[in-house]
Amino acid sequence: MVSSSQLRAVQYVREHGIPFLGLCWGMQIAVVEYARHVLGWQEANSTEVDQTTRYPVVDFIPNQRELLHEKGYGGTMRLGAYAAYLKPGTLIYSLYKESGRIDHDMRLPLPMERLGKPLNLPYVVERHRHRYEINPTFIKDLERAGIVFSGVHETMDGIPLMEFMELPDHPFFVATQAHPEFHSRFMEPSPVFMGFVRKALERRLHRTS
């Protein structure tokens, strides 16, 4: 559930310029916090927690609802590898480009349902294990308020799924709906982990110098 302590923690690091990296639920918490405290939608929530929320910024996407009705939970989870199309000029793009992951991942063989609708953008491949998504209904409002969704996967039936988000005016506020730890290795750590640790170290060195 979305706890007040989780929201306060995200709000604190966002407002004080402390590096933040959110994974899966962490991205959903970050969006709920932003909707409440920046957009002023105090009732914003995930329908996993509150099905009657006025602002369901995290929700099942339409075809997930159909699968849930027909099959129960088993058919609704987004599992495995999916392409995330990245926006050039964003922090996420620069992290993955620097690591060589874009060139590597774009050579991987993926079935069309995993690639999604081609968006004429560079992409990376990350693994997933979740049911809820950032609600497409609220994407434009969140973007107007300052969130940059720097990675997206669009399903073959045209549903946009937000894969990465960042705040360009923050030193390092990054979140992903994926689980990059599944691809991270000792000698080849995930670009988001490298970026997060590097920024945290820079901040510490700056504060102690």
| Residue 166 bears catalytic tag | no
Of the residues 15, 16, 24, 206, which is catalytic? 24
The SS3 call for residue 126 is: strand
Tokens for 117, please give them.
């609708």
Of the residues 128, 181, 183, 206, which is catalytic? 181
Of the residues 143, 179, 188, 206, which is catalytic? 179
81 DSSP β-pair partners: 127
Q: Where are the beta strands (DSSP E) in the chain?
A: 20-23, 44-46, 55-59, 78-86, 123-130, 133-134, 148-154, 160-166, 173-176
| Residue 179 bears catalytic tag | yes
Cβ contacts of 193 within 8 Å, gap of 6 or more: 21, 180, 181, 184
Cβ contacts of 42 within 8 Å, gap of 6 or more: 36
Q: Is the Cβ–Cβ distance between 130 and 77 less than 8 Å?
A: yes
What dihedral do alpha carbons 117, 118, 119, 123 form, nearest 10°?
110
| Residue 181 bears catalytic tag | yes
Residues serving a catalytic function are 24, 179, 181
